[in-house]
Structure 1
Amino acid sequence: MSFGVPEPNPPNWPDSVLLFHPSEEPLSILNRIEKTQDPWDKVKQTFTCENHFSPKRHALLFAPGEYFLDRNFEIGYYVQLLGLGSRPTDVAFPQCGPFVPALNKHLHPPFGTSLDTFWRSAENFRTASLQWAVSQAAPLRRVHVDADLLLHDHAAYASGGHLANAYVGGSLRAGGQQQFLFRNVEMKEEVTGGDTEPAITVVGQPKLRMEKPYITLTTAKNGQECFQLRVPLLLRGEKACGSSFDGAHEQIRDFCSVRVISSEEPINRIQEALDQGKDVVFAPGIFYLTKALIIRKSNQVILGLGLATLVAPKDGSPCIQVEPFVPGVRIAGLMLEASERSVSNPNNTETSLLEWGHADQKDAGEPDNFGGLFDIFCRVGGGRVGDRTKTHVDYMVRLHSGCIIGDNLWLWRADHGALGEDEKANYTHISPVFWQTENDEFRVETGIEVAGDNIHIAGLAVEHANGHQVVWKGDYGVVYFYQCELPYCASHDFAKDGFRGYFVDRDVKSHTVYAPGIYSNFRNDPVVISTAIQHPIEPNIRFFNAFTVKLDNLGGIYSIVNNAGTKAVEKGRSVRLQRIGEGHFFQ
């Protein structure tokens, strides 16, 4: 395949990419990283959330070798750490390394909070021990932890998270985590919780597995450093189990066919590269799209670094459109953000942030060449002030084509947002530093619609949509772990209209979901949802270990699945429903 003019290798990285080598002085490394960390309050001795909606983005790239640092360094908002080895053990922090503590100990004494610790990640390295006290959109991947992995910071609330393809040699301590997904993780000891025994759902044999694309750094024959794009292949059977670090099932692509795009470059260079068949790597930054990016070539990779953010065109077009009958596409590591719309439904079309296939074309996909979505985070509202009613979409994600694997999708209609200059918080008892979203602001009618067959998602979170959170219309779908918060700002109409946390269409015959959790926190009205999950009664539609919980405030959820299960109306008390056979449940 001809890719046009070769791209430079090594690429011309912008300033938002920091590249480190083991030969660099440790103090120099730490000083360079410090500017990417969250702000530090010297008096209260805490990192703060002031960068929660920051426009800054950074990637910390570590060349293979050992880094003997004399203190740990925090991974802040919109920061990604990437080891550049072919194995996690190639980049090692034997003494001190990355960590994420709870934030805002001055606002939430004495332990702070991890509930808003979003939008950061770390991949492909080895460390002695690790604290990673995060919530959604903060994944750990391809990591080797010699000793303990702490997913909490004392008693600070946390609501994470995603750990994939990892090894933990000591204890894996969940602490006060509300939920967490461990996928393909080798653990020498069992998971431990806080004061209560964790409820754990184990799936021993996933049907399919595909790892996220990643970048490595090697040395060419001429001694020059050069980069490679590694593209893991689809695995089945026994190969889909356990951690996998040997790179035995990967394609290796030279960066001469990879275009690195920075946010300072003309936007049309992105589509130009895609049309040439090149892979695209987005450097950390915010990209304001003027038209949708169209993917027409099979097996292309679109990879974002440092929480690279694509802001949707103002005409209602999606950020990314994958055309039908284009198999094997991988889209990874991107934030997709809604814009203030300049027009409303120009052609009376339904709007979304990511569209895969077309609603009017039946594309079954290719069973031997699945597409993939990895670490995709949608955001509608939050970071933009002004008229909050102008930021809205009908769907965050629509998957019309079949044969797609999803791995860590967090689709978030912002329940809170940044304050404008001199603007005061509307619910100061909830937060003095954020605006709490009202019902007509940042609207999303449906979180995700899945119409394609054979869609497998490990780690799906959909929060605060104004209608159904999930609508599933395709057959043979599988979801491993689902987390959902219903909209805090809902009125009684939300219940009257029959909206659900998870809705399976009446024509679906086969669907499986493991460990779905749906939470209510109705702030404004005592809304009562009759049931959290609704699906047709079919022998091959199965929900395992479903539960609901009322987090706080008013109303609640009166049943879990199809009007079966106890009410969740007592603050903080989860209600569970476990399936033991077709149509039979016990609590």
Structure 2
Amino acid sequence: MPLLPRTAAARRAIPRSSGARGRAAAALTAGAVFSSLLMALAPGAAAAEIPTGTVTVANIANGKCLDARAAATANGTAVQQYGCNGTTAQQWTVTATSNGYVRLGNSNDPAQTVDVTDVSTADNAPVQLWTYGGGLNQQWRAVDEGDGTFRLVNRNSGKCLDVPAASTADSVQLVQYTCNGTAAQRFAVTPVSTSPGDVDLGPNVAVFDPSMSSATIQSRLDTIFRRQETNQFGQERHAILFKPGTYNNDVNVGFYTQVLGLGSSPDSVNINGAVHVEADWFPPQNATQNFWRGAENLSVTPAGGTDRWAVSQASAYRRMHVRGNLELSDGGWSSGGYIADSRVDGQVRSGTQQQWLTRNSQLGSWTGSNWNMVFVGSQGVPATTFPSPPHTTIDRAPVTREKPYLTVDATGAYQVVVPPVRTESTGASWTTGAPAGTRLGMDTFFVVKPGATAAQINTALDAGKNLLVTPGVYHLDQTLRVTRPDTVVLGLGLATFIPDNGIKAMTVADVDGVKIAGILFDAGPVNSPVLLEVGPTGSSASHAANPTSLHDVYVRVGGAGVGKATTSVIVNSDHVIGDHMWIWRGDHGAGVGWTVNTGDTGIIVNGDDVTMYGLFVEHYQKYQTIWNGNRGQTYFYQNEMPYDPPNQAAWMNGPTQGYAAYKVADSVTSHQAYGLGSYCYFNVNPAVVAERAIEAPNRPDVRFRSMVTVSLGGTGTIRHVINDRGGPSNSSTNVANLVSYP
């Protein structure tokens, strides 16, 4: 993520949304957390309002459900955790006893109640089923953690229901243990619905409706944000869903948090207040690490007239309507983002943003630029003036499909809308008439929740199901195989797939119309040959009428831990649409280093007629991007070369110093790309040189427009922009521009 000193535009002050500042400073100390636990457990503490009737109870850490072993109902049956499967052995009736306590009866026999064995008060006493007799060891107080989860405190012992040793295994019997505030003692309690089309979205989805008080909603929002504000490489994932209506709330969006409206258009949900991203956690308001979050399908009427979305990569802003202005930085540095299918009534102010793509949107106006601002199929945007200022505008988007999205119909049933393909389009898809799209009911989906296995997911795919992947981190011991045409794989809350033992994470057959959206692929510690493969080698079928599309598909190699993958993404099928992808070999975090998080290439495109909008590829150790297919098109490309070559000898492409960021194969006869930026920051060894940023055959139908290279802080050299043209970028001349090639 590039660094840039603040500009005058960036220092323009805007009103802060309520509660936006000082959140990090308000974080509880360990002592304060312990004190709050003691207060909550004290006699007379208010009981949380858990759902009544029939519920499921799932551990927040591993997503597994409270389960009666083998569906038995006999006294002494172990109460265990097990992968959620929807059976009645995992359904519990909540019945009030007295003074805020409840008992939990199993649905197979509601008289059989969750019971601490032998009326014990000891740590690690096991929990079982036993016929209810009014014992204190059979009663529990649900204490709200503030984020929709509960700890369940036994009336007899004062100890918490607990997953022993925080195990993630099936069939582990639960115990009671001294309350300690860990995730092993936090449970999501979810009503079992019988409404047609309703679905359990798992423990990490918060659903709000206008009947709820603003204070209740705000409390939940603030709790999620406090957990996620600085949680850059954590395991928690969250989706926040608003049913149609009007809300008066401040929605501060942290890491791995996706905020969604459930209406048929963004105007179905209006937030009076803010839906915003700040950079308070990384002073001085540095937004260059504000990754992995998103806002979709909402309208916002910002307090003070201006909202803020200060982000860098992997932070999609889609199907949004801002009834005011939008600021894209927070006064400090910021490093690129993506707006699509949106409307901003007022002005968009880019501030310190170094690069940005705006696609199929309608703006009141735009102000600001630094290195590379690209506008495709959008209205109210600047004309092409690259490089001064560096605006590049393409009037129409040649071929697009908007991202599928979750909604509710008039009966309250969940559906997924799949928008159609558009050609030569301009403006947002939803501003004139009812939004087009195919509606898919929940009966066509397998809802993937924490604890689901790769085998279960593949069984669902083989049965013809789509996937709705709820927020969580999913380890895969077998490759996910998408083989059916028109399959939808829709992730919520940055749902994350990690392949174990060096396998591929996902493969897609050479079929029509597959949609992969909202998924983060995170490399495992054993090298995978590829993480996402779209079409097998040799794919050749035409998909011109119904292309496969990749929306908000992100890849990470290292950062959260050691990760290794030779190539992150391979596109073999023809006519694929890439709609916002960040493919990243980690340059900071855990498990990073030249010989640690190894990755040769970010993406290889072998298919013909592939179109990419918003392609971000960073820090790979050889070519960042290799394009072998014909008639490819790229609209906005952002790259950083690897920071960490230890010396020039370690980073040589035969006799050539370094590897180009964007390589078009010599065999390609037709290719076009608009708005390309490549940056170097060789901080391990500033003497390292890259001969060029772009490498391509010199042919009349291989065309590049609006290219820029930057040596960040003069740390390293890119000698040429493309082939032997343009440049250098080095300690003397940081920025080099080239308008066109050839």
| Aligned-pair CA distance for 1:356 | 1.0
Q: Distance in 2 between matches of 1:442 and 1:549?
A: 25
1:198–1:33 distance in 2 versus 1, CA, 3 Å: farther
| Aligned-pair CA distance for 1:531 | 1.1
Post-superposition CA distance 1:8-64 (Å, at most 9, x none)? 72111212000000110001001111221145xxxxxxx953x01110000000000
Partner of 1:43: none
Residue of structure 1 aligned with 2:334, choices 158, 171, 174: 158
Partner of 2:738: 577
Partner of 1:530: 691
1:461 partner SS: strand
* Residue 58 of structure 1 pairs with residue 58 of structure 2: no
* Residue 455 of structure 1 pairs with residue 610 of structure 2: yes
Post-superposition CA distance 1:508-542 (Å, at most 9, x none)? 01111100000000012211111110101111101
Residue of structure 1 aligned with 2:574, choices 398, 402, 414: 402
Residue of structure 2 aligned with 1:373, choices 550, 554, 558: 550
* Higher alpha-carbon deviation: 302-311 or 570-579: 570-579
2:216 partner SS: helix
Q: Distance in 1 between matches of 2:370 and 2:640?
A: 22
Partner of 1:182: 358
The answer to whether the 8 Å contact 2:449/2:472 transfers is yes
* Higher alpha-carbon deviation: 527-536 or 266-275: 266-275
| Aligned-pair CA distance for 1:271 | 1.0
Partner of 2:499: 312
| Aligned-pair CA distance for 1:270 | 1.1
Post-superposition CA distance 1:101-124 (Å, at most 9, x none)? 11335xx3xx32101110000000
What pairs with 1:382-401 in structure 2 (closer than 5 Å)? 382-384=559-561, 388=562, 391-401=563-573
Q: Distance in 2 between matches of 1:522 and 1:119?
A: 25
| Aligned-pair CA distance for 1:407 | 0.5
| Aligned-pair CA distance for 1:268 | 2.1
* Residue 10 of structure 1 pairs with residue 198 of structure 2: yes
Partner of 2:299: 126
Partner of 1:99: 276
1:235 partner SS: strand
Q: Distance in 1 between matches of 2:668 and 2:706?
A: 20
Q: Distance in 2 between matches of 1:7 and 1:311?
A: 34
Q: Distance in 2 between matches of 1:123 and 1:573?
A: 36
Post-superposition CA distance 1:67-89 (Å, at most 9, x none)? 023xx231010000000001100
TM score, norm. by length of structure 2:
0.68
The answer to whether the 8 Å contact 1:171/1:188 transfers is yes
The answer to whether the 8 Å contact 1:495/1:528 transfers is no
Q: What percent of counterpart residues are identical?
A: 33
Partner of 2:150: none
The answer to whether the 8 Å contact 1:549/1:571 transfers is no
TM score, norm. by length of structure 1:
0.86
Q: Distance in 1 between matches of 2:280 and 2:399?
A: 37
What pairs with 1:357-372 in structure 2 (closer than 5 Å)? 357-359=535-537, 361-372=538-549
Partner of 1:327: 512
1:392–1:572 distance in 2 versus 1, CA, 3 Å: farther
* Residue 544 of structure 1 pairs with residue 700 of structure 2: no
1:481 partner SS: strand
Partner of 2:324: 147
2:355 partner SS: coil
1:305 partner SS: strand
1:277–1:116 distance in 2 versus 1, CA, 3 Å: same
1:483–1:38 distance in 2 versus 1, CA, 3 Å: farther
Post-superposition CA distance 1:250-273 (Å, at most 9, x none)? 111111111211012333221112
Partner of 2:183: none
The answer to whether the 8 Å contact 2:633/2:673 transfers is yes
Q: Distance in 2 between matches of 1:508 and 1:394?
A: 23
Q: Distance in 2 between matches of 1:113 and 1:8?
A: 46
2:722 partner SS: coil
> Which amino acid in the other structure matches residue 467 of structure 2?
V
Structure 2 stretches lacking a partner, 5+ long: 1-193, 372-386
> Which amino acid in the other structure matches residue 9 of structure 1?
G
Partner of 2:290: 117
The answer to whether the 8 Å contact 1:292/1:313 transfers is no
Q: Distance in 1 between matches of 2:256 and 2:681?
A: 27
| Aligned-pair CA distance for 1:317 | 2.0
1:33 partner SS: helix
2:200 partner SS: coil
1:202 partner SS: strand
* Higher alpha-carbon deviation: 257-266 or 210-219: 257-266
Post-superposition CA distance 1:294-351 (Å, at most 9, x none)? 011000100000000000131x221110012x1100000000010111xx6xxxxx71
Q: Distance in 2 between matches of 1:119 and 1:148?
A: 23
Residue of structure 2 aligned with 1:26, choices 214, 217, 233: 214
Partner of 2:583: 411
> Which amino acid in the other structure matches residue 600 of structure 2?
E
The answer to whether the 8 Å contact 2:458/2:480 transfers is yes
Partner of 1:508: 668
Post-superposition CA distance 1:88-144 (Å, at most 9, x none)? 0000013x1321111335xx3xx3210111000000000123210000001100000
The answer to whether the 8 Å contact 2:360/2:397 transfers is no
What pairs with 1:223-372 in structure 2 (closer than 5 Å)? 225-237=412-424, 240-245=425-430, 246-314=433-501, 316-324=502-510, 326-341=511-526, 351-359=529-537, 361-372=538-549
Q: Distance in 1 between matches of 2:199 and 2:732?
A: 53
> Which amino acid in the other structure matches residue 582 of structure 2?
W
> Which amino acid in the other structure matches residue 678 of structure 2?
I
| Aligned-pair CA distance for 1:281 | 0.5
Partner of 1:213: 404
Post-superposition CA distance 1:380-402 (Å, at most 9, x none)? 11112xxx4xx311100000111
Structure 1 stretches lacking a partner, 5+ long: 1-5, 40-46, 345-349, 419-434
> Which amino acid in the other structure matches residue 342 of structure 2?
A
The answer to whether the 8 Å contact 1:522/1:552 transfers is no
| Aligned-pair CA distance for 1:279 | 1.1
Query: Which has more radius of gyration?
Result: 2
Q: Distance in 2 between matches of 1:441 and 1:572?
A: 32
2:440 partner SS: strand
The answer to whether the 8 Å contact 1:100/1:131 transfers is yes
Q: Distance in 2 between matches of 1:556 and 1:165?
A: 37
2:368 partner SS: strand
Q: Distance in 2 between matches of 1:8 and 1:61?
A: 19
Partner of 1:3: none
> Which amino acid in the other structure matches residue 285 of structure 2?
G
The answer to whether the 8 Å contact 1:302/1:330 transfers is yes
> Which amino acid in the other structure matches residue 224 of structure 2?
T
Residue of structure 1 aligned with 2:368, choices 180, 186, 192: 192
The answer to whether the 8 Å contact 1:7/1:256 transfers is no
Partner of 2:648: 492
1:12–1:58 distance in 2 versus 1, CA, 3 Å: same
1:248–1:87 distance in 2 versus 1, CA, 3 Å: closer
The answer to whether the 8 Å contact 1:135/1:160 transfers is yes
1:274 partner SS: helix
> Which amino acid in the other structure matches residue 28 of structure 1?
T
Residue of structure 2 aligned with 1:201, choices 382, 388, 392: 392
Partner of 1:466: 621
| Aligned-pair CA distance for 1:573 | 3.1
Post-superposition CA distance 1:148-178 (Å, at most 9, x none)? 0110112x10002010011011110000011
